[in-house]
Amino acid sequence: MTRLSVNINKVATLRNARGGNVPDVQKVAIDCERFGAEGITVHPRPDERHIRYSDVYLLKKLVTTEFNIEGYPSEEFIKLVLEVQPEQVTLVPDPPDALTSNAGWRVKENIGFLKETIARFHEKNIRTSIFVETDIDNMFMAKESGTDRVELYTEPYAANFPKNPESAITDFVKAAEAANKVGLGLNAGHDLSLENLEYFVKNIPGLLEVSIGHALISDALYFGLENTIQMYRRKISNT
């Protein structure tokens, strides 16, 4: 079954808005696991506007499911990941000032850099995933990079889903089939929600993990965190 990893960046954003430690990011991570999350995702950025590097070190001691650290592989980020040694690192091509992840890697253009970076993580037995769009060549080049998994960037799917779900998912199915064919593990994330998650999981072959943050944390304001996580898990299990 597809695993649900909860991205807790937005919790840290709320905390940082006032200073102090409310809401408590560490407690939220523990609670997410207690309520049924099968992983915790964080995406520290250089300006630390949400998750801070210090949070990452603290969370490593607490997370008992899968700990997934996302980010652009700057030297500072690579050092953090190598020291923390999470179960998974997800490499994204964000520039430092990006508001949120908004594109996947052009794998062919960055193949040398990705190969070198992935090899460094593999030396510490850290599973790697790279953030990609649905171009089929990306899947074949991703295999060349040495990565263990790819994470499909699902914002285009989410944007088009309300108009035509079948059309919205077509390219993602083809990309998933290509990833499966070359032996890559398959993750997905960005703008997945209660409205579009079930259809996505049902139609994507070999989907191992979804990482969901903004929509899930927003839904928790209305439904409560425990109930929300269970609602997302039911959307996955209905498939």
What's the CATH number where 27 sits? 3.20.20.70
Q: Which residue has the tokens 């037995």?
A: 125
Q: What is the pLDDT of residue 100?
A: 56
Q: What is the pLDDT of residue 98?
A: 55
- Residues labelled catalytic: 43, 70, 190
Q: Which residues contact 98 (CB under 8 A, 6 or more apart)?
A: 45
User: Which stretches of the chain drop beneath a pLDDT of 70?
Assistant: 95-102, 239
Q: Residue 201: in which H helix or E strand, if any? A: helix 197-203
Q: 212 lies in which domain range?
A: 3-237
- Count of domains for the chain: 1
Q: Counting beta carbons within 10 angstroms of the beta carbon of residue 28, is it exposed (0 to 12), middle (13 to 18) or buried (19 or more)?
A: buried
The SS3 of residue 80 is helix
**Residue 85 Rama label (left phi>0; alpha psi -120 to 50; beta):** left
CA 158 to each of CA 50, 153, 161, 174: distance values in angstroms, whole numbers, following the listed order: 24, 10, 5, 17
The SS3 of residue 163 is coil
For the chain, the first-to-last Cα distance in angstroms comes to 9
State which amino acid sits at residue 157: Y
Decide: 17 and 207 in contact? Cβ < 8 Å.
no
The SS3 of residue 169 is helix
Would you give the distance in Å from CA 134 to the centre of its chain?
A: 16
Decide: 207 and 186 in contact? Cβ < 8 Å.
yes
Decide: 79 and 117 in contact? Cβ < 8 Å.
no
Q: What is the pLDDT of residue 238?
A: 84
Q: Which residues of 172-200 are buried (b: 16+ CB within 10 A; e: fewer)?
A: beebbebbbeeebbbbbbbbbbbebbbbb
Q: What is the pLDDT of residue 227?
A: 98
Orientation of helix 53-60 relative to helix 75-84, angle to 10°:
20
